[in-house]
C-alpha cells in the first residue's frame, strides 16, 4: 500500500462512509477531487469491494458528459481512495432561466447522453439533482457534466439495500426509490432528470411536501402538475411579481407526465429519446425560442 499521491487542499464534504477533498496533483500542477472510504470499511468489506469494482469501470471510461475517474488505490492506512477530475462550472439555475426551452434541451441532451453511457456500463447514479450537474465552459458556450460519482451513492445504497430503507434526495426521488432501493435502475435516473428540467422550466419543483413523508407520498401518488411557465421571465432578469400569466404548454405537460410516470416501464427508454421528445414538444407548443420573443 502506497500513500495517495495527491496533496489535500481543503475538505469538500464528509459523510458516514467517507470524505471528499479538493487536492492538488503536485507533479502535473492541477486540481483533482479525491474521495476516501472511512478506515472502518476495510479492504475486504462488501462496500470496499463494490467501490473498487465501480472505480475500475469508471477509470476505463471517458464520457464527455460525465466526470472522469482517473485512478484509485489503497493508502498506507488501508483506506480506499478514488481520484476524479476537478470540474469548474456553474449550477444549471445560474445559467438557465425559467421557460428557456432551448437551453433546457441542451442540458437534457448532454445529461441524457451521459446517463446512457453510465447505464451502458451498468452504473446507476441514484442521486441525480441540480447540485450534481455542473455547466462548464466549452468551445460553443457551455456543456453539462454529471459529477459526484462514487462513495456517497454506491456505499449508502449498499447500506440502504441491506436495510430496505430509502436512499436519495427526496425532491428528486422516483416512486420506486421512495419505496426502497432494491429495484432502482436507469429509469430512476431519468425520473430525477425530469424533475430537474421541470424545475428549470417552471422555476419551481413539481412536488414540495412540508415533511419528507408527505413529499415521498406525492412522488408515489400525486399526478404531475402542469408546468405553468411564467411569462416575462428571462435569464438574468428581475422577476416581475405583477406578471401572473403563464404560457400554455400542453405538449410539454404531456412530456412531463411520461417522463415522471409512476411506473418505470412507462417512462422514456433512454436519455436520447427524452431529449428528442422534449424538442418536439417544445416546438409544438411554440416555446422553442420563447426568450427571443419576450419584452
Q: Supply the residues annotated as catalytic.
A: 127
Cβ-based neighbours of 200, under 8 Å, separated by 6 or more: 92, 93, 96, 98, 100, 104, 107
All cell numbers assigned to 289: 425560442
Amino acid at each position: 500500500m502506497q500513500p495517495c499521491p495527491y496533496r489535500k487542499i481543503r475538505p469538500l464534504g464528509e459523510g458516514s462512509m467517507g470524505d471528499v477533498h479538493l487536492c492538488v496533483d503536485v507533479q502535473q500542477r492541477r486540481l483533482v477531487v479525491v474521495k476516501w472510504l472511512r478506515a472502518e470499511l476495510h479492504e475486504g468489506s462488501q462496500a470496499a469491494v463494490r467501490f473498487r469494482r465501480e472505480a475500475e469501470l469508471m477509470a476505463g471510461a471517458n464520457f464527455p458528459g460525465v466526470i472522469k475517474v482517473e485512478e484509485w488505490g489503497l493508502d498506507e492506512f488501508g483506506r480506499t481512495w478514488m481520484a476524479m477530475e476537478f470540474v469548474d462550472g456553474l449550477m444549471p439555475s445560474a445559467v438557465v432561466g425559467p421557460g428557456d426551452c432551448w437551453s433546457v434541451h441542451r442540458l437534457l441532451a448532454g445529461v441524457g447522453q451521459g446517463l446512457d453511457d453510465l447505464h451502458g456500463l451498468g452504473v446507476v447514479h441514484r442521486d441525480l439533482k441540480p447540485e450534481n450537474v455542473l455547466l462548464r465552459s466549452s468551445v460553443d458556450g457551455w456543456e453539462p457534466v454529471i459529477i459526484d460519482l462514487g462513495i456517497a451513492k454506491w456505499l449508502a445504497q449498499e447500506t440502504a439495500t441491506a436495510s430496505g430503507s430509502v436512499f436519495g434526495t427526496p425532491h428528486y426521488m422516483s416512486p420506486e426509490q421512495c419505496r426502497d432501493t432494491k429495484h432502482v435502475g436507469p429509469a430512476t435516473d431519468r425520473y430525477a432528470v425530469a424533475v430537474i428540467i421541470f424545475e428549470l422550466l417552471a422555476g419551481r419543483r413539481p412536488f414540495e411536501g412540508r415533511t419528507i413523508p408527505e413529499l415521498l407520498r406525492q412522488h408515489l401518488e400525486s399526478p404531475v402538475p402542469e408546468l405553468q411557465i411564467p411569462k416575462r421571465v428571462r435569464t438574468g432578469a428581475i422577476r416581475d411579481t405583477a406578471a401572473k400569466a403563464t404560457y400554455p404548454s400542453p405538449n410539454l405537460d404531456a412530456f412531463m407526465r411520461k417522463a415522471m410516470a409512476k411506473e418505470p416501464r412507462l417512462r422514456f427508454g433512454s436519455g436520447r429519446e427524452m431529449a428528442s421528445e422534449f424538442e418536439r414538444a417544445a416546438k409544438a407548443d411554440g416555446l422553442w425560442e420563447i426568450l427571443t420573443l419576450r419584452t
